[in-house]
Structure 1
Amino acid sequence: MPDWMPSWGTTALISIATSLLTLIVAGRYVSPLLEVRNRRFQARMQAIEQFQAHMLNVLSAVTHLLTGPVVPEASDTVRASLREERVRWRAQVDDGTQYLTDHAVQLLFAYKGARLPDLAVRYTSCARGVWLSDRSEASKLTALQDITQHCHALFFDSFVHIRQRIRSGVELERLLNELETPQPPVGG
């Protein structure tokens, strides 16, 4: 230590040099890594949020279609309005299942583990397959309602309800296996 510098001066210089070096290293190397990690986390959370939103849209539209029949006793105006609503709800189911299928790959990165990403992707493709199938409308709607309710419970119920989530996961797998099994041709 030079004679002209007080004893506390060396400590101050070491502190200043350490702070500057830390600031340079953090700004140059650590900060960009944290920004990338933050963007990945935001993308993951947005994928999960969109998955839930479109799943709930499908469930809502399916429920409306199952519970909102066109009443024959109603006036022509009311029946026409109800038919228009049913067309709109069918379009919502179509749009929702289409979005889920188109963005299913994002779910592989959004969920961790061996089972959850696979179930999420299977749900999306199965839901779209059911909607595009040649089943009766009531059969399509019931199947979509069942798998969507179980999928939503599995992915979005509280962790407090772990037994319900496990049961929903098992039931979802059973329903997916059943729906993915090719059906023999009718009247063959």
Structure 2
Amino acid sequence: MPNTLWTLLVAAGTAVVTTIATGLLVTPRLDARKKRIGEAHAARDTFSTHLMTVLWACTLLQQLPADDPDWTPVLRERLKGERERWLQQIDDATRWMFDHTPAYAGSWPARQLIDFAVAYATNARMLVLSEREEATKLELLFALTTPVQRQFFTFWWTRAHHYSADRRTFAETLARLAPEPTPAS
């Protein structure tokens, strides 16, 4: 009987020490890691939402003419307000993506994906801030956003299927964004 009691006391003591040590040393690190991972995934989700906002607003703005002679003055004014709202959505989305790049881009494991996200956010924001005509901005922004959205937020088989084409399209759009060299005088 004393052997059994001693064994139970040692087992209970070991369990208490292990529980306390785990609670003091391991659990806080796991909780902090869980929080960081959750924040990274939330930032990725927000990035995805902003990409879709840009794509949707570009599509709406490209399909809706800026003016139509058949519109009444009231309709013209209302649609002008809608166009301004959609342009503001694009501005807000690109601002968020640019400002929060470290939160979502740094969460991907491959350097290539990080560079892709950073290049997109930077170039999309600079495009929105540029002095290009609205139609050109929308065309370029749509062309820039589509491959990024597909490479980050579609099914893996879609990403794999379109990988080369998306990278090529993105590079070609970046080349179109580059300012033309001015001739030397």
TM (norm. structure 2) is: 0.90
Aligned equivalents of 1:40, 1:129: Cα separation in 2: 29
The residue type equivalent to 1:21 in the other structure is V
The residue type equivalent to 2:112 in the other structure is R
Aligned equivalents of 1:172, 1:13: Cα separation in 2: 69
Match in the other structure for 1:150:
147
Q: Percent identity over the alignment?
A: 30
The residue type equivalent to 1:25 in the other structure is A
Aligned equivalents of 1:133, 1:94: Cα separation in 2: 12
Confirm whether residue 78 of structure 1 aligns to residue 72 of structure 2. no
Please say which of residues 6-15 and 62-71 is displaced more in the overlay.
Answer: 6-15
CA RMSD of aligned residues (A): 2.0
Q: Would the aligned equivalents of 2:140 and 2:173 in 1 still touch at CA under 8 Å?
A: no
Deviation, structure 1 residue 165: 4.3
Higher Rg of the two aligned structures: 1
Deviation, structure 1 residue 109: 2.1
**Partner residue of 2:62 out of 60, 66, 69:** 66
Q: Relative to 1, partners in 2 of residues 1:22 and 1:179: Cα closer, same or farther, differing over 3 Å? A: farther
Q: How does 1:23-34 map to 2 (within 5 A)?
A: 23-34=19-30
Deviations 1:19-78 (A, max 9, x none): 011111111100111111011101111110111111111111111100111322121111
The answer to which structure, 1 or 2, has the higher relative contact order (CA under 8 A, 6+ apart) is 2
**Partner residue of 1:135 out of 87, 109, 132:** 132
Deviation, structure 1 residue 146: 1.1
Q: How does 1:1-188 map to 2 (within 5 A)?
A: 5-69=1-65, 70-167=67-164, 169-184=166-181
- What residue ranges of structure 1 are gaps of 5+ in the alignment? none
- What residue ranges of structure 2 are gaps of 5+ in the alignment? none
TM (norm. structure 1) is: 0.88
Aligned equivalents of 2:159, 2:125: Cα separation in 1: 28
Aligned equivalents of 2:74, 2:170: Cα separation in 1: 43
Q: Would the aligned equivalents of 1:72 and 1:79 in 2 still touch at CA under 8 Å?
A: no
Aligned equivalents of 1:54, 1:93: Cα separation in 2: 8
Q: Which runs of 4+ in 1 moved over 3 A?
A: none
Aligned equivalents of 2:17, 2:110: Cα separation in 1: 40
Aligned equivalents of 1:168, 1:10: Cα separation in 2: 70
